[in-house]
Structure 1
Amino acid sequence: MLKIEANNLDQMGAAAKEAAYELALLSTDDKNAALLAMASALDDAHAEILAANAADLDGAQVQAKFIDRLRLTPERINDMANGLRQVAGLADPTAVIDRGWQNAAGLEILRRRVPLGVVGIIYEARPNVTVDAAALTLKSGNAVILRGGREALHSNAAIANVLRASMQASGVNPNAVQLITDPSHELADRFMHLTAYLDVLIPRGGAGLIQAVVKNASVPVIETGAGNCHIYVDSAAQLQMAQDIVVNAKVQRPSVCNSAEKLLIHEDVAADYLPVIADALRAHGVELRGDAAACAIVPDMIPATTTDWDTEYNDLIMAVKVVGSVDEAIAHINAHNTKHSEAIITDDYARAQRFLQRVDAACVYVNASTRFTDGVEFGFGAEIGISTQKLHARGPMGLEQLTTIKYEIMGNGQVRG
């Protein structure tokens, strides 16, 4: 096994390449056994992980609304361990052949799913990403190099140490999961240009981080999403359903990317529905910012500015706009959204289908909360991120999205004429 100096990116990259090669040769049973052992190791390491997290929380220099992302609890560590177990129970995407056929020349062509290789992940104050990334990359046969934010440095290091020790005890090369512990921007910039070793780079965090990686990296990037998510309450919506969904989507966990930031409501029901929904949101401490029509219905609403329509708040704030039709709602969403998650509340089938077909987003809902855009909720066990781009992967990224394809062609002497 290669010797690695701390934060030596070339050595880390070379070790990750070696580990990725070894992982690609492991059986599904071996990978599953390692994942289950990692889950048990997390169960046994609550005290040290919580102590490390307490150190991060004590020194945290993040906005109060982001503390929830950083905070670990025994329940959240249990969830991370259970995520490892769920991934172990999922089908191995590299264990099957996608498709096979014979061409006109008699060549036997197989299309097989194979790992991407070495995955780099840059993320902010989200310690759970360390576990999710380790679980999904190991099961899909990839090595991963993680660069978390300085706010979660102690938590990430404690988690990575537990996982790596467990991997080594299971006979799996621990360099398949490596953590950069130098949080400097200089090292992050070098990481984004580590083309000799990284096959793909995935940023996970706020809009600023994502755009910095997209604009500066020379390693291929899968863009994951900031979430300026909308809920459109149609004139054919049931009031109680609309209220329940809007409140859930906004307040259940407002700091995450799949929480709703904007409420659009049809003018035919706005006068009756908006005061009720506004009261329900305010009961949970939500600040409302409305266009002129919304403010006319709820006079003490703060007037929205043009900036509001493009802002991801990650907070108990919601902007409200009254619209005249489903087409106006769709046009507004497509002009201002981040291609993440959008929802319509309606009992009108034709409008629901129109919304589904014309809204440009990775996930589009009818009569359900945007909070369901999540790898666990989609049955992926965990997620590496939520892709808002259209090439390679879109939406919550699980095991299959961490693979690519290889064509294997068997002949018996054919040459092309």
Structure 2
Amino acid sequence: MSNKQYIEHLCRKAKESSRVLANYSTVQKNNLLRKIAESLRKKADYIISENRKDLAAAKEESLSGAMVDRLLLSEERIASMAASVLEIALMEDPVSRIEKMTTRPSGIRVGQMRVPLGVVAVIYESRPNVTVDIAALCIKSGNAAILRGGREAIHSNRALHAVIRDAMVELSVPESCVTFIDRTDRELVPILVTMNTYIDIVVLRGGESLIKTVTAESTIPVIKHDKGVCHIFVDESADEDMANRIAVNAKVQRPGVCNAMETLLIHKNYRHKESLLQSLLDQHVEIRGCEKTAAIFPGRVKPAGEEDWGFEFLDLILAVKIVDSIQSAIEHIARYSSNHSEAIVTSDYLNAERFLKEVDSSAVFVNASTRFHDGGEFGLGAEVGISTQKLHARGAMGMEGLTTLKYVVYGKGEVR
């Protein structure tokens, strides 16, 4: 079977299954999710053994420590995945919910009903936990999912999909409700994103080159989970301990994820610059700073180049700039941000409100780490991705982002 025939076959089966899953009751969907969570816990050893193959390949290819961390599946992470699936099972089902019902002068009642999008294709890289997150969210929202993971996580993704598939088979759910593309050929992606007869939306989670290519070639609406060039601005009134804790957490906890801080902006009048930079240096962060930043720690701060502003390092590397004012910080963010997540650390209420209003990103924080921009942390159970665009979803995209609205009209024989 050629690659085109292979993809078309998978898409056709997914389309058929989407009509079945869309009509499942909440109880049926929740039972499947509970079975998947149970199977993840029971088959953790199998999943970890397959994940080791990907980790070994990553080390052979000399991937960075941050990238290896993205691939890692430990007992703790598998337990967290299972807990996330159970949380989604406990959440309200958005499907068939009626909204904005009104009675018109003609006598008809007009409202809107939440319905699944249909078939959701998700193209992603590195993080195998995405396989489970997306499958669970699509199941609960009544959508069939087509999953295309990265080559670097192929063994882990196969194992996770096998666990999900076995749970579906056990409960007599059509296997193609969650489809995994088991081939790693690069030419599969351009074929997949032109299957507009079968697929309703494509969600992209990957590098800049992948997103540019797919966006240009797709004949299907695309939601982009673009790079995360996240900024934190430490205002002149910021509390020293709070600023240090937030900056270290945002950069160090997991530097290889999209909501990690990549640029730190510091007000020129902030009195604790040395303490802030030292807290990052103590965590082995490489600082690439402007001239004023370099002058604080001569020899310990590398000079930043133009290419460092707006760069997603995904590593223990941080661009730092001292700015004249909150206006300068907002202008820098507007120029270099990817519109993912930005934060201000401040004790000034008016500056906090101004930052919230004027910074045009999908999530804006006051006195909290950008690491909180996550579907689980936002109460969504998990996320399909973090949309950096404004249509059809923006920010952490959960179940509701996988639905759309149709008008429903009730009458008693009215005619126009």
Question: For the superposition of Structure 1 and Structure 2, which TM-score range results when normalised by the shorter chain?
Answer: over 0.9
Q: Does 1:132 align with 2:133?
A: yes
Aligned to 2:278: 279
Q: Give yes or no for contact 1:28–1:95 (8 Å, CA) kept in 2.
A: no
Distance 1:239 1:404 in 2: 45
| 1:133 CA drift (Å) | 0.5
Task: For 1:222-261, list aligned pairs within 5 A.
Answer: 222-261=223-262
Aligned to 1:85: 86
Aligned to 1:343: 343
Task: For 1:159-174, list aligned pairs within 5 A.
Answer: 159-174=160-175
How many residues get paired? 411
Distance 2:315 2:63 in 1: 10
Q: Give yes or no for contact 1:7–1:180 (8 Å, CA) kept in 2.
A: no
Aligned to 2:398: 398
CA-to-partner distance for each residue in 1:55-107, whole Å, 9 max, x for gaps? 11122236213111111111111111111100001000114212211222222
Distance 2:204 2:4 in 1: 22
Distance 2:413 2:42 in 1: 58
Q: Which has the higher mean CA deviation after the structures are superposed, 98-107 or 194-203?
A: 98-107
What SS does the aligned partner of 1:347 have?
A: coil
Distance 2:173 2:330 in 1: 49
Distance 2:331 2:107 in 1: 51
Q: Give yes or no for contact 2:230–2:341 (8 Å, CA) kept in 1.
A: yes
Task: For 1:31-70, list aligned pairs within 5 A.
Answer: 31-60=29-58, 61=61, 63-64=63-64, 65-70=66-71
Distance 2:6 2:268 in 1: 59
CA-to-partner distance for each residue in 1:192-241, whole Å, 9 max, x for gaps? 11111110000112323222222221111011131100010001111111
Task: For 1:90-129, list aligned pairs within 5 A.
Answer: 90-129=91-130
Structure 1 residue runs without a partner (length 5+): none
Distance 2:330 2:136 in 1: 37
Q: Give the share of equivalent positions with the same residue, in percent.
A: 47
What SS does the aligned partner of 2:391 have?
A: coil
Query: Could you tell me which amino acid in structure 2 is paired with residue 275 of structure 1?
Result: E
TM-score normalised per structure 2: 0.96
Query: Could you tell me which amino acid in structure 2 is paired with residue 279 of structure 1?
Result: Q
Task: For 1:199-218, list aligned pairs within 5 A.
Answer: 199-218=200-219
Q: Give yes or no for contact 1:258–1:341 (8 Å, CA) kept in 2.
A: yes
Aligned to 1:302: 302
Aligned to 2:330: 330
| 1:413 CA drift (Å) | 4.3
Distance 2:223 2:4 in 1: 27
Distance 2:415 2:54 in 1: 63
| 1:414 CA drift (Å) | 3.9
| 1:108 CA drift (Å) | 1.9
TM-score normalised per structure 1: 0.96
CA-to-partner distance for each residue in 1:93-145, whole Å, 9 max, x for gaps? 11421221122222221200000000000011111000001000000000000
What SS does the aligned partner of 1:59 have?
A: helix
| 1:7 CA drift (Å) | 7.5
| 1:415 CA drift (Å) | 4.1
Query: Could you tell me which amino acid in structure 2 is paired with residue 17 of structure 1?
Result: K
What SS does the aligned partner of 1:222 have?
A: strand
Q: Give yes or no for contact 2:236–2:267 (8 Å, CA) kept in 1.
A: yes
Aligned to 2:353: 353
Query: Could you tell me which amino acid in structure 1 is paired with residue 263 of structure 2?
Result: K
Q: Give yes or no for contact 1:99–1:112 (8 Å, CA) kept in 2.
A: no
Structure 2 residue runs without a partner (length 5+): none
What SS does the aligned partner of 1:310 have?
A: coil
Query: Could you tell me which amino acid in structure 2 is paired with residue 232 of structure 1?
Result: F
Query: Could you tell me which amino acid in structure 2 is paired with residue 203 of structure 1?
Result: L
Distance 1:398 1:12 in 2: 24
| 1:14 CA drift (Å) | 1.3
Query: Could you tell me which amino acid in structure 1 is paired with residue 166 of structure 2?
Result: A
CA-to-partner distance for each residue in 1:359-393, whole Å, 9 max, x for gaps? 01000000000000000000111110001111121
Distance 1:62 1:332 in 2: 34
What SS does the aligned partner of 2:225 have?
A: coil
Query: Could you tell me which amino acid in structure 1 is paired with residue 215 of structure 2?
Result: V
| 1:295 CA drift (Å) | 1.4
What SS does the aligned partner of 1:93 have?
A: coil
Q: Give yes or no for contact 2:51–2:155 (8 Å, CA) kept in 1.
A: yes
Distance 1:252 1:21 in 2: 42
Query: Could you tell me which amino acid in structure 1 is paired with residue 234 of structure 2?
Result: V
Query: Could you tell me which amino acid in structure 2 is paired with residue 10 of structure 1?
Result: E
